[in-house]
Amino acid sequence: MKLTKKGHACVRLEKDGQQLVIDPGAFSEADAAVGAEAILVTHEHADHFDEERLRTALEANPGAHIWTLASVAEQISAAFPGRVHTVGEGDTFTAAGFDIEVHGQLHAVIHPDIPRITNVGYVVDGGAVFHPGDALTVPEGRRVETLLLPVHAPWNKFAEILDYVRAVGPRRAVDVHDVLLSDVAPLVYDRLLGPQGPGTGGAEHVRLTPGESLTL
């Protein structure tokens, strides 16, 4: 399996000639999902869900389908009849040759005054990859090899991110949700999540620039 970092929280997975894209949002490239047979969306926030990027991908590939939670499906099902599938926690399905499990229900708390929305995460191929969306969901009963780590957001802080890596216990943690970071911030995160930090429990920390790939 090949994992390619796209802009912000978006990644592309490739296996056996098929492609799966997760969360092509407004901070991702305009063609972030083009070429994919399957697209997964974790929640309705614009940095994860952008209808124009979905439209571009589905028009480019008439066989492409979308899997997402109800709050997103309600907004796009009419635009893509028969090509949007609603999923929720506990569901399993196969998309573009990848086995997917759905974990989680709610977005992390941004502030008590801001209502929480729904959010799901996707475990791919039995734990080869886990994308939690905007939540620190631990996929119970799954050994995760590669955790896509939402390293910077209005709803998190470093202590929570470190403890989350420890709780999931992956072999590697690859940064996503990072568009708001400056050029200096990665130096701090790389140190704290690396060998000089307080310890991730053995997980290798990986930072990919948009367009850079990793063989899993």
The CATH code for residues 2-215 is: 3.60.15.10
Tell me, what's the pLDDT at 106?
Answer: 98
Tell me, what's the pLDDT at 182?
Answer: 80
User: Measuring CA to CA, how many Å separate 91 from each of 67, 94, 176, 196?
Assistant: 11, 10, 24, 39
Tell me, what's the pLDDT at 137?
Answer: 98
Q: What is the pTM of this model?
A: 0.92
Tell me, what's the pLDDT at 188?
Answer: 79
Per-residue pLDDT of the chain (216 residues), as tens digits, is 999 999 999 999 999 999 999 999 999 999 999 999 999 999 999 999 999 999 999 999 999 999 999 999 999 999 999 999 999 999 999 999 999 999 999 999 999 999 999 999 999 999 999 999 999 999 999 999 999 999 999 999 999 999 999 999 999 999 999 998 988 788 878 888 998 899 999 999 998 989 999 999
Tell me, what's the pLDDT at 192?
Answer: 85
Radius of gyration of the CA atoms of the chain, in A = 16
Q: What is the 3-state secondary structure (H, E, C) of 91-159?
A: CEEEECCEEEEEECCECCCCCCCCCCCECCEEEEHHHCEEECCCCCCCCCCCCCCEEEEECCCCCCCHH
Domains of the chain, by residue range, sit at 2-215
